[in-house]
Structure 1
């Protein structure tokens, strides 16, 4: 048995705690928040084997430059002379090639499928009562050009063994008979599932506490003491802790901590927003509003509209222009849907930790013997939570890992 400290209490950190305690390890989770906010609470709740194309894909640089001058665009990068941002931007550009994206497709698909299987195992365990449905994903499009592009991705999914259909309006109506859509068609992936994050997270915290996991809220890691490439203690604003193994699952804050160890991991915070509509929308299947890159999820008691990717440093400022863009997109796709001013005013945001190549960092850095990094999951953090936690527990327990970890290596070159 090992004494393990996990820095970060989001979906990655809690999932890691779950699998480590299952292996018999002593676990402490430290988080600067109170375990009620952050990207793990405001995301779209998707489990997404369908999302096998990396964010860093061919054409995204050109499109990103165009979007840079539009404050309401789906993908916005705030120009900066910050050295870490420039290094990340260069690595992102190097990663956005057809060859690299093609190589990453089976890697992203397989870890998403592992994540989905593990969520289903959690649900079947009887230890939890969280909302989970596997209804697939409808990718709606309003133009023929976008439809053709999405169907190419769908065909690639079929090649990867996923169930994908190209639906006409008539086909959509059979699946969603009670909503009035302004679309030309949809690509349907049957492999996806969805959840309500605000149900799952408190359940997991309660479960972990019941199993003896220490949950330390409102405690910020200030420093780490390293001797002979080994972390000897973690210092917070309240105390000093010692452990055999440290897991860095601090999301967008991970690079700030890794710098203290002389480890440079390229991560930029990608802000996303969500609007909750707590009234009947008749939406029953999760969807992507393609032209706007807005995600729509029927959750437990409400419908969530989530979207935008805003690379602009660590901050939680709500930009009403971007919130309004989500609401406007929803109203363009769904006839007779109106998102109220109050619903927009209650919008929240979260910071997704984005690596340059669309793959998370999972594994041990060669520069620190007892540190395992689990960060950089971007928009797939929710989907990959249990898969990452399982992989980290296998690393620390010296077991054969469920997947080849080389593509996720923290020391990989871009």
Structure 2
């Protein structure tokens, strides 16, 4: 073995970091303060979307936040009153949410998502560990002509970066997804996108790592990170040659142990699995209401949505969730009625950087500590690429991509 690496955080980013580090010959220990059964990744839509080249920090997101600010049932919400941390993050978010920054970020996001998708394909082809991968593409379903116009502009940006994007009329959309409402004017089809089943992938990857000899410390807390290359975990000292912090929104708690911090805020979202007999055949995103739609085997569809910035708890805002359900029923009128009060709603926190790009890199002033977080809504999409790049960085290998845009301390 080349050395000992502690991966702090057992979500999808931490697991793929552990996977590629182990593949590179390191003795890996994954530490998580929970039991690894309910991370943000489990309730994820499971979409693999190289088409998503527009970062969260964009003029469109700013206008949506302003438009929805005083609407408690809107798909985008902002915590009020805001904390000082949130105000500082928001200021940097606003400074980068401009056309020039979006244009630059789109290029590097495209490189990262494309690289990650190729790694998924490689893992699937090599049967590295069992998981399902659906390659039907993703439909962007626009409920209004305004949304269709805006989404067409996004598709043109993606198309300019080499992403195949097909504009569809309402009739063409319904020929692909007959369960859609006749009132939908059109949308965009990204045939290169796909999806996995998040819970299945996570469990399979954990089993693969444990079988390979990776150690898992569940329900364990890191309380100290020393300059002597040792971390105190549940009161015991563990030596390391490298430490990877991949703890999602809780990453700053660990960074503060070494006197560091990055601009990071939670973006709370909801999801639920709905069993039904109606045919929902294609993974999709409902553009106006910002809802993801992922059909799984067994006539179960996972619906996910809402972006509540600055919310740290798991509370579900009833009015917002009820409006989410109404939007789903309007788009898919053939679905049986969904009673919001009877639904078991999952909520989780996406770690959001200020500029919409993840943090992937070495902590300034700490040569053996690395950070991998801030992936916002692209955690599942970007996990293999992030894990691979972290392993290359730790191992001193030639990097597959330029990490400067994702550097810590930017």
Q: Please state how far the C-alpha of 1:304 moved relative to its aligned partner.
A: 0.5
Once the two structures are superposed, the pairs formed by residues 166-185 of structure 1 within 5 Å of their partners are: 166-177=167-178, 179-185=180-186
**Residue of structure 2 equivalent to 1:293:** 290
Once the two structures are superposed, the pairs formed by residues 122-271 of structure 1 within 5 Å of their partners are: 122-177=123-178, 179-227=180-228, 232-271=229-268
Whole-angstrom CA distance in 2 between matches of 1:54 and 1:14:
24
**Cα 1:29–1:151, aligned 2, differ >3 Å: closer, same or farther?**
same
**Residue of structure 2 equivalent to 1:67:** 68
Whole-angstrom CA distance in 1 between matches of 2:121 and 2:31:
27
Q: Please state how far the C-alpha of 1:312 moved relative to its aligned partner.
A: 2.6
**Cα 1:313–1:143, aligned 2, differ >3 Å: closer, same or farther?**
closer
Q: Please state how far the C-alpha of 1:402 moved relative to its aligned partner.
A: 0.8
**Cα 1:396–1:181, aligned 2, differ >3 Å: closer, same or farther?**
farther
| TM-score, normalisation: structure 2 | 0.96
Whole-angstrom CA distance in 2 between matches of 1:371 and 1:212:
22
- Would the aligned equivalents of 2:42 and 2:198 in 1 still touch at CA under 8 Å? yes
- Would the aligned equivalents of 2:181 and 2:330 in 1 still touch at CA under 8 Å? no
Q: Please state how far the C-alpha of 1:179 moved relative to its aligned partner.
A: 4.9
- Would the aligned equivalents of 1:270 and 1:312 in 2 still touch at CA under 8 Å? yes
Q: Please state whether the residue corresponding to 2:258 is helix, strand or coil.
A: coil
Unpaired segments ≥5 residues, structure 2: none
- Would the aligned equivalents of 2:362 and 2:408 in 1 still touch at CA under 8 Å? yes
Q: Please state whether the residue corresponding to 1:310 is helix, strand or coil.
A: strand
- Would the aligned equivalents of 1:181 and 1:334 in 2 still touch at CA under 8 Å? no
Two-structure CA RMSD over aligned residues (Å): 1.6
| TM-score, normalisation: structure 1 | 0.95
Whole-angstrom CA distance in 1 between matches of 2:21 and 2:334:
48
1:367-403 residue CA offsets vs partner (Å, 9 max, x unmatched): 2110010000000011000000000000011101111
Whole-angstrom CA distance in 1 between matches of 2:128 and 2:393:
25
**Residue of structure 2 equivalent to 1:405:** 403
**Cα 1:102–1:259, aligned 2, differ >3 Å: closer, same or farther?**
same
Between 133-142 and 60-69, report the one with greater CA deviation.
Answer: 60-69
Q: Please state how far the C-alpha of 1:173 moved relative to its aligned partner.
A: 2.8
Q: Please state whether the residue corresponding to 1:201 is helix, strand or coil.
A: helix
**Residue of structure 2 equivalent to 1:105:** 106
1:19-57 residue CA offsets vs partner (Å, 9 max, x unmatched): 011011100000011111021100110111111111111
1:82 is the counterpart of 2:76: no
- Would the aligned equivalents of 2:3 and 2:26 in 1 still touch at CA under 8 Å? yes
Count of residue pairs the alignment pairs up: 408
Whole-angstrom CA distance in 2 between matches of 1:181 and 1:121:
39
Q: Please state how far the C-alpha of 1:186 moved relative to its aligned partner.
A: 1.1
Runs of 4 or more consecutive aligned structure 1 residues displaced over 6 Å after TM superposition: none
